[in-house]
Amino acid sequence: MLKLCKSSVMSLVLLFAGAAAPALGQAGRSTDPSTQPAPREEAIAKRIGDPYPLSTCPVSTGKLGSMGEPVVKLYEGREVRFCCGSCPPKFEKDLTKNLDKLDSAIVKDQAPLYPIQSSVVSGKKLPEKPIDWVYNNRLVRLTDETEKAEFLKDPKKYMASLDRSVVEKQGTDYPLTTCPVSKDKLGDMSETRDLVIAGRLIRLCCAGCVKDVLKEPAKYIAVIDAARKPNADGKDAPRETPSEGGM
C-alpha cells in the first residue's frame, strides 16, 4: 500500500478543496482579496533559479523571520528575501552595488561545496582563479567571461548538469537517513526526491515535501549543514535528523 507523508496528505486535501471551490459560487472566480494568492506566493512561483539561500536580510542583516514573514521580491526573476517591507527600497537605491554584495556572500558560502573542477559550459579545467559568477542565487564557475554568453543560451541545461554533479558528489555520503521535512525514513514511502539548493543536496521522502523546502530554504540548508559539520574529533556528525524539535 502506498504511504504518504503528512506534507503529501495536506497537499491532497488542498487539491480537492480547490477543485470543489468553483461549485460554491455561481458568478465565477472570486474577487475577495482574502482568496487571492499572496504576493509572496506569486513571487516564489515566478522565481527563476534557486530560492534566496541566506538566513539573513541583505539590508538589515537581521535574521529572516525575526520580524514576521519575510518579504519576497524578484529582480529579473531572481529571488531576494527581506526582513520587512522597509528594506527593499533601500536595497533598490543602488541595486547593482547591493546585488554585487549579495553575490559575494553567496560565492563565499557555496565555493567550498562546488562539485567539479571544470567549466560546466566548455568542460575545460578551471584555472587557479576561475570566474565566480552567481546565476540567480547559484554559484557557477567558468574559465573566462566569454562562457557566460554560452551559458545563457540554455541555462536550464547547464544548471541541470551542475545539479547532477552535486547529487553524484554529495549523495555517496549523504548525512541524513530521514526526510528533513516529514521526518519519515528515506525510502520507506516511495522513491526519494533529490533537490539541490545553494549547492547542497537535500534528499526528501517525496515530491510533496519540495514546496516546504522552497518556502523556507534557509531552514533546511541549516539542517543539512549541521548534519555535515564534523565533531570536535574531526568525524562527521551522526547521520540522523533530530526526532523531536529543531524544526
In this structure, the strands spanning 138-142 and 78-82 are unpaired
Residue ranges of E strands in the chain? 71-75, 78-82, 131-135, 138-142, 193-197, 200-204
Is 50 exceeded by the pLDDT of residue 229? yes
| Residue 48 CB burial class (10 angstroms; 0-12, 13-18, ≥19) | middle
pTM of the model: 0.77
Which pLDDT value is given to residue 46? 86
Give dist(CA 35, CA 105) in Å, integer: 37
The residue with greater pLDDT, 32 or 134, is 134
Do residues 221 and 197 lie in contact, with contact meaning Cβ atoms separated by under 8 Å?
yes
The letter for the amino acid at 225 is: D
Average pLDDT over residues 126-148: 97
Phi, psi of 93 (to 5 degrees): -60, -35
3-state secondary structure 65-108: CECECCEEEEECCEEEEECCCCHHHHHHHCHHHHHHHHHHHHHH
pLDDT digits (tens, 9 = 90+) for 40-66: 677 777 899 999 999 999 999 999 999
Do residues 4 and 206 lie in contact, with contact meaning Cβ atoms separated by under 8 Å?
yes
Query: Burial code of 186-217, b = ≥16 C-beta within 10 A, e = fewer?
Result: beebeebbbbbbbbbbbbbbbebbeebbbebb
Which pLDDT value is given to residue 8? 54
Place 21 in a pLDDT band, splitting at 50, 70 and 90.
very low
Is 60 exceeded by the pLDDT of residue 15? no
In this structure, the strands spanning 71-75 and 78-82 are antiparallel
What is the sign, positive or negative, of the torsion defined by CA atoms of 153, 156, 161, 162?
positive
Which pLDDT value is given to residue 82? 97
Give dist(CA 33, CA 62) in Å, integer: 30
Give dist(CA 243, CA 179) in Å, integer: 11
Q: How many CB atoms lie within 10 A of CB 118?
A: 14
Q: In 3D, which of 170, 125, 133 has the Cα closest to residue 155?
A: 133
Place 188 in a pLDDT band, splitting at 50, 70 and 90.
confident
**DSSP secondary structure code for residue 165 in this structure:** H
Average pLDDT over residues 146-157: 97
In sequence order, what are the residues at sequence separation of 6 or more whose Cβ sits closer than 8 angstroms to the Cβ of residue 211? 7, 11
Which pLDDT value is given to residue 231? 47
Place 131 in a pLDDT band, splitting at 50, 70 and 90.
very high
